[in-house]
Structure 1
Amino acid sequence: MLETLIQSGKHEIKRDPKGVFLAGLSAGLDIGFGPLLMAVLLTLSAGSYGDLGTEIMLASAYSVGFIFVILGRSELFTEHTTIAVMPVLDRRASVAELGRLWGLVFVSNVVGGALFTLFVVTLMPNLGVAAPEAFIEIAHKLVDHDPGWLLVAGILAGWLMGLLAWLLTAAQGTLNRIVVILIVTASIGLLHLPHSIAGNVEVLFGVFLSPAITWVDYGIFLSLATIGNAIGGVVFVGLFKYGHVVRGGD
């Protein structure tokens, strides 16, 4: 499993930057379908946040964007906090190369999410499937917290995404991979943890549709969620998994 991640990380680090940016842009666009489906279901459902059935339904919808991105082999920042750090830990790539990859993937993910949000907001009156209030309610679930919560919860989200990258190396077959993705990402959705890339779309909807959610709220969310996600993926999965395999194996 470790060698698979190292080889995958080396491939991504050595990949042409233009290809990385386009794949990251695609991931930012595709992941937006999760928050969109959440808003649609929240609009159509008789329940609300706090109801078990509604929470499970919304968490499952949240996973859809991740299934699109991961099975489509697009570039997602929170996966690379674990995947791309492995060859650096094994001294097969440099920290500078890792930083370049992270920067390209993160920026392209955020730009893709912003484009998706603008596209949906522009078409929303004609879609007629989701109420603006649903998007706003989803955004408030992420921004109505103090900075300390955002950072710690972001670490948990990054930890789970790192585990997802690790577990997918052992999952054989498309169906098994879908189940693993669903379990991990639905857990993030059910716990309302801040995922920097999916949350980028969720909070931007709130910025565009509600005067109560400002660009300052967006900036605080994105920065703290990103830092937390990186810590969770690098420390709790990257360092720990690499350490226990290397010290426990040949």
Structure 2
Amino acid sequence: MDDSEPDTFAVMEQMPTREVLDSLIESGLHEIRREKSGLLLSGFSAGLDIGFGPLLMAVVLTLSQGSYGDLTTELLLASVYSVGFLFVILGRSELFTEHTTLAVIPVLDRQASIGQLARLWGLVYIGNIVGGLLFTLLAVVLMPGLGVVSPESFELIAHKLVSHELHWLFVAGIFAGWLMGLLAWLITAAQGTLSRVAIIWIVTATIGLLHLPHSIAGNVEVLFGVFISASITPLDYLAFLSLATIGNACGGAIFVAVLKYGHVVRGAK
């Protein structure tokens, strides 16, 4: 091999952690300072787009010979679950669970206030939930008529999240928020679109494979059951949404924002 030729498999230089932190602070401040209408619309768009992941899960369950517990089906479900996140993150819409880390770091750096953080969280969260609600209504009304989704698959997806003890929802929600906060950090550190696609798929497919409660994608999943099944009540939905949301916020803010900010400002390289 000619030594002058570039090595295709050479490892690219990683972005220093201080630069990652500075980039996250800059991005977080940009979002915090955005107009209210822009945040709401971006959050609404994300709530719509993320619904394609749960919808494709329903398609896989309808067409597959297997179900939950079958390895092949579980891997397929986890893979298609990530599709909604790819649409949202690469499309640069606002997702509440990303901001459990992204918007917290400027507050830790004393460049933004808790009030500004609460404003951003509230606007994005409302947009995400309303967008997910509209997507779910469209999916359960229109998709079964196409013959690729059965109402039973919608119900099965919802039951997978609401059939657990309430404390499980909170604890597992922490892990989901932790992974989403880590995703925000890794995407910032990544070089190139392909590497970002791979990171999004790995992290969100992990959430799907472990059946962790993600408050925004799970909003769509549980609403499937509310609209389809009499056995899943609005109270089940509210319990899921509240505990998953609190868990996600704790996971992203504590296990990623606080810890990574702390180790960087104390001299990590």
- 1:180 lines up with 2:199 in the alignment: yes
1:75 corresponds, among 94, 97, 102, to 94
Aligned mates of 1:212, 1:248 — CA distance in 2: 53
Q: 1:34-77: per-residue Cα shift (whole Å, max 9, x none)?
A: 00000001100011110111100000000000000000000000
**What are the residue-to-residue correspondences of 1:20-169 with 2, within 5 Å?**
20-169=39-188
Q: Which residue of 2 aligns with 1:209?
A: 228
1:241 corresponds, among 260, 263, 268, to 260
Deviates more, 1:120-129 or 1:223-232: 120-129
Higher helix share: 1
Give unmatched runs, 5+ long, in structure 2: 1-19
How far is the alpha carbon of 1:171 from its aligned partner?
Answer: 1.1
Aligned mates of 2:256, 2:236 — CA distance in 1: 29
Does the residue aligned with 1:91 lie in a helix, a strand or coil?
coil
1:5 corresponds, among 9, 20, 24, to 24
Q: 1:116-154: per-residue Cα shift (whole Å, max 9, x none)?
A: 001111213422110011111111110001110000000
Amino acid at match of 2:21: L
Instruction: Percent identity, please.
Output: 72
Stretches (4+) displaced over 3 A: none
What's the TM-score once normalised by structure 1's chain length? 0.99
Amino acid at match of 2:170: L
Does the residue aligned with 2:189 lie in a helix, a strand or coil?
coil
What's the TM-score once normalised by structure 2's chain length? 0.92
Aligned mates of 2:68, 2:255 — CA distance in 1: 30
Q: Which residue of 1 aligns with 2:10?
A: none
Q: Number of aligned residue pairs: give it.
A: 250
Aligned mates of 1:126, 1:221 — CA distance in 2: 29
Does the residue aligned with 2:67 lie in a helix, a strand or coil?
coil
Q: Looking at CA atoms only, which structure, 1 or 2, has the larger radius of gyration?
A: 2
- 1:200 lines up with 2:197 in the alignment: no
Give unmatched runs, 5+ long, in structure 1: none
How far is the alpha carbon of 1:249 from its aligned partner?
Answer: 4.6
Aligned mates of 1:48, 1:28 — CA distance in 2: 26
Deviates more, 1:24-33 or 1:118-127: 118-127
Q: Which residue of 1 aligns with 2:208?
A: 189
